[in-house]
Amino acid sequence: MSSSPRTCTLLPAPGSPPGRNAQSLSKKAARSQGARRTGGARAPLPRAGRQCKIGGLSPQGCPRIPADRRAAAVDFPGGRMADTSESGPDTDRRPVNEQRRRRIEKIAELKALGIAAYPDRFPRTHTLAEAAALPESAQGLALAGRLTLRRRFGKLTFAHIQDQDKAFQIALERDKVATASLAGKDAYAVFQHLIDLGDFIGCEGDLMRTKTGELTLSVKRFTLLAKSLRPLPEKWHGLRDLELCYRQRYLDLIMNADTRARFALRRRVIAAFRETLDREGFVEVTTPTLVPTASGALATPFVTHHQALDMPAYLRIAPETYLKRLIVGGYDKVYEFAQSFRNEGMDPSHLQEFALLEYYCAFWNYEDNMRFTEKLLAAVIAAAAGSPVVRFQGREIDFTPPWPRIAFRDALTQYAGVAPEDFPTVESLRAEVKKRAPDVEGIEHMGRGSLLDQLYKKCARPQMLGPAFLVGHPIELSPLARRSDADPQLTDRFQVLAGGREIVNAYSELVAPIEQRERFEEQAALRREGDAEAMAAEDDYLLCMEYGMPPTSGWGLGLERFLCLLADRENLRDVVFFPFMRPQSDGGGAADAGAADDTGAPQAPEGA
RNA sequence: GGGGGCAUAGCUCAGCUGGUAGAGCAGCGCCCUUUUAAGGCGAAGGUCGGAGGUUCGAAUCCUCCUGCCCUCACCA
C-alpha cells in the first residue's frame, strides 16, 4: 500500500497536510485556527486527501468525489455544527467534536461511492448466538451487529460485532473482501477508513477457526447498515459514570456486559413469574393505571388533569382494589404486573415509578398463601438465577423451602430487645422508641402501631437476613387485611423478609364490607383529615364489597426490590432501564445561560 | 428538605501547598496477515459543570447556582 499512486495530483503531499502547519504556532493558536476553518470555509479541504485515497484505489482511476459533492460533504450539518448560531437541519446543540463532524463527512463520502449510510434492511441467516453454535465448516452465513472492536493488521483485520445476546469475531482480508459495489483493496479501504466503531454492519461469509482457535466469520462481503455519528465509550473500562449510565442507558447496554446480564435477569424473572403463575391457574389481567382516585396503599399519588371530563386524575399507587373488584366479579385467581407511581421521596430504595406484581386467590387464606409463596419464589429464583441460593452483600440467602415464621412481636423481642407488652401505654412505648431510635422524626404524632413499626424498621428488620415469614402484624398497620380470629389486635398478614428487606407483603383480605368501612374511618382519623377524594374511592370499593367477596388472600411484590436482591444491587435504578432524571441543561452552551437565570425559564424539554 | 462527596478531551482517569492542563482508549496519518484492551511511529483534540469573588496570576482558594452519588428524615 504505497501512498503515492493514490494521492491525487491536486492534493498536497501527505507530509504537508493543509491547515496543519501548526508546529510553529502555540497549541491555542493552532486550535483557534482549526475552529475557524471548520466554522467557515470550504476552501482547502483537509479531508479530501482521504476521500481521494479511497477512490484512488479503484482500478478505474481516481473516481474522487466531484467538487460540488465534496463541498456538500463539508457543508453537511456536521460541517456547520461548530457555528452554533446557525440552525441547520441538525438541532443537536451539544458541543460538537471533531469525531462527530468527521463521521458526518464520511456519510457523504460513502454516498459518493454508492454506499448508503442507512439502508432499509439486512436479511441475516443467524443471530450471533446461533452462529456461535454452528460447526466451523458452516458456510454462507449472513450476520449483523454493531461493530464494537477492531484490530487492524495491515491487510488483515479482526473485529467484533455485537447483537442482543452475543459478540462475535469477524475477520476481513484485503484481497478477499468486497462490498456490493467494490472489491478487494477498495472495499477493504472502505472498511478501514469509512466504517467506524459503533456502526452497524452486515457480514456475509464462511466460518473458520483462527490460529488461537476462535470461531470467526471470514467476511467475503460486508454492508453498512447504520452509520454511528458518535464514538463509543472506552472499550476496556466501559461506561463508568453513573449519571451517564442512567441517562444514556443504551451506552451502558452497549458497553457493559454486567448491565446486559442484569436486564436479562429481569427478563427471566418476569418470564418465570408468568410461567409459574399461569401454570397454577392464575389469569393475567390489566387494570387501570390512570384512575379517578388513588387507593390501595397509603402514598401520595401523581396528579394530572383529565381534559375531557375536566376533573383531576391520578396515577395508581397500587392495583389492589381493582384486582379485588375482579375477585368480586368472579375471577378465582388473577395477577398483574402493575406499573405503579408514588410521588414521594427519592432514594436508592424508592422509585417514583415501579413495578408491583400482585396476585389474588379466592378461597385461600394467608396460610395457603405462605405455602404457595415458598414454592413460587423458590421456583422463580431457581429458574432465573440458576440456584435457590442467592448471594447478597457478601452473605448467602437460601430460598429452599420451608422458611421459618416469626411473629412481629417476637421479631421485636429477639432482634430489637423490646417486648411490646412491657409498654402498655402509648406514652411509655413512645419513650422507649425515642431511646432506641432517637433520629426518628415525628414520634410525638405516632400511634401505637406506627411506634412499633418504627421500632421494627430501625432495630429489628436490618438484622433479619431471611428468608423468613414475618407474621402477626398489629391491626393498625394493615387497614385492608383481615383481623385475626385468634387475636383481635393482629391481622392475618405476612411479609417475606430477605436481606433485611421486605420482599413480599400479603394477607388474608378483609372481605367484610361493614368492618372495612369502620377500618377506613379509623385510618382516616388516625392519619389525615380524610379528604373527599379518598373517601369517594373507598365508597366505590365498599359498594363492590357489599355484593360479596369470597375469602381471598392477596399478595404483592416490589419487582425492582426483588431484582436488586437477585442481582446483588443496592440501588433500584440499576434494575430499571430509564430511571427518572432531572432534565440536564445542555451544559455550557449559549442557550444555557438564559435557562440558568432565576426567571425559571423553561429548560431542555423544548429541545428534547 | 438536612448533611457529606463528586463534576478536567467523545470515554476512563492523573493534575502536590495557586504559576495558565497530561496519560490511556477512541479518532486522524503511516507500518503491520492470526489478534483478543493487538503492537509501533507521528500529529491533533480542552469555555477544567456554570456564574461571581480573592490574587500579579485560579482546574486548584472562597461564595452562589446546576446535575449526579451517598446519607438522614417520609412512604414500599
Nucleotide nearest residue A156, measured CA to C1' = B33
Question: Global pTM?
Answer: 0.81
Q: What is the DSSP string of A248-283?
A: THHHHHHH-HHHHHHHHHHHHHHHHHHHHHHHTT-E
Strand B, nucleotides covered by protein (CB < 7 Å) = 1, 9-13, 22, 24-39, 43-47, 49-51, 65-76
Q: Is the CB of A585 under 7 A from strand B?
A: yes
Provide the strand spans (E) within A23-166.
141-153, 156-162
Nucleotide nearest residue A99, measured CA to C1' = B27
Distance A482 CA to B5 C1' (A): 47
Residues 6+ apart with CB under 8 A from A526: A447, A476
Instruction: Write out the three cell numbers for A453.
Output: 413499626
CA angle A45, A46, A47 (to 5 degrees): 90
Which positions 364-423 on chain A have a beta carbon less than 7 angstroms from any atom of strand B? Answer: none
Cα distance from N-terminal residue to C-terminal residue, chain A: 46
Asked whether the beta carbons of A340 and A439 are under 8 A apart, the reply is: no
Distances (CA, A) of A261 to A91, A268, A355, A389: 34, 10, 19, 18
The secondary structure of residue A456, as a DSSP letter, is: I
**How many CA atoms does the CB half-sphere of A263 hold within 13 Å?**
16
Which pLDDT score is estimated for A440? 65
Tens digit of pLDDT for each residue in A314-356?
A: 999 999 999 999 999 999 999 999 999 999 888 899 999 999 9
Q: Is the CB of A101 under 7 A from strand B?
A: no
Asked whether the beta carbons of A108 and A77 are under 8 A apart, the reply is: no
Nucleotide nearest residue A440, measured CA to C1' = B73
Show the low-confidence residues of chain A (pLDDT under 50): 1-95, 529-533, 586-608
Which pLDDT score is estimated for A96? 57
Which residue has 426518628 as its cell numbers?
Answer: A440
Q: Which residue is nearest to nucleotide B69 (CA to C1')?
A: A242
Nucleotide nearest residue A27, measured CA to C1' = B44
Q: Is the CB of A30 under 7 A from strand B?
A: yes
ipTM passes above 0.95: no
Which positions 462-481 on chain A have a beta carbon less than 7 angstroms from any atom of strand B? Answer: none
Q: Is the CB of A151 under 7 A from strand B?
A: yes
Q: Is the CB of A582 under 7 A from strand B?
A: yes
Q: Is the CB of A95 under 7 A from strand B?
A: yes
Which positions 314-353 on chain A have a beta carbon less than 7 angstroms from any atom of strand B? Answer: 340, 342, 344-345, 347-352
The secondary structure of residue A483, as a DSSP letter, is: B
Are β-strands A215-226 and A167-173 bridged in parallel, bridged antiparallel, or unpaired? Answer: parallel
Q: Is the CB of A31 under 7 A from strand B?
A: yes
Which pLDDT score is estimated for A42? 29
Q: Is the CB of A569 under 7 A from strand B?
A: no
Distance A586 CA to B52 C1' (A): 21
Asked whether the beta carbons of A351 and A574 are under 8 A apart, the reply is: no
**How many CA atoms does the CB half-sphere of A291 hold within 13 Å?**
27
Cα A40 to the chain's mean position, in Å? 41
Q: How far apart are CA A348 and CA A514, in angstroms?
A: 40
